[in-house]
A = this chain, B = another copy of it.
């Protein structure tokens, strides 16, 4: 991918993030998994912990198998179907690149609607990602979801 310009990379990453949100919203979590490489780290961390340097995560998957397991658990528990999600993601900021690994940040808001059609803010925060490019497009080497909103119970149930 050495011929890729910064602009091309940004567009491809922006497309990936839009698809990423769509696949969660559409409950296509098995497809959503395709955005992660085998040694991906996926974690959800409270903003306060990031600011204070605390290591505690709300969700910590240290490789793709752990992410897969979580999806399997969700399918069995079937809890998250009670609500539907809707992601609105801001423009990604490419904050660095080294050895083909792009450091990307993007703000997000996830709205959740219950079975009565009531919508609330479910989570707002920031994606702090490491992205690499494979032959079939950009993938997350690391995805850290820094959440402003404390909503621990439900956070544990679904990816953001």
Contacts and interface: CB of A to CB of B under 8 A. Distances in A.
Interface of A: 7, 11, 14-15, 17-19, 21-22, 25, 46-47, 84, 86-93, 105, 107-109, 111, 113, 116-121, 123-126, 148-151
Please provide the 8 A-B residue pairs with the shortest distance between their CB atoms, ordered closest to farther. Answer: A117-B150, A113-B148, A119-B149, A111-B124, A18-B91, A86-B124, A88-B90, A18-B93
Given A88-B90, A119-B124, 12 more contacts: A7-B11, A19-B93, A22-B93, A25-B126, A86-B107, A86-B124, A89-B90, A91-B91, A111-B121, A113-B149, A117-B149, A117-B150
A106 to B, nearest CB: 8
B111 A148 contact: yes
Contacts of A18: 90-93
28 contacts: A17-B91, A18-B90, A18-B91, A18-B93, A21-B107, A22-B105, A46-B117, A86-B107, A86-B109, A86-B124, A86-B126, A88-B109, A89-B90, A89-B91, A109-B109, A109-B111, A111-B148, A113-B149, A116-B150, A117-B148, A117-B149, A117-B151, A118-B150, A119-B123, A119-B124, A119-B148, A119-B149, A121-B121
B121 A47 contact: no
A71 to B, nearest CB: 20
Contacts of A14: 91
Contacts of A7: 11
A35 to B, nearest CB: 14
A97 to B, nearest CB: 15
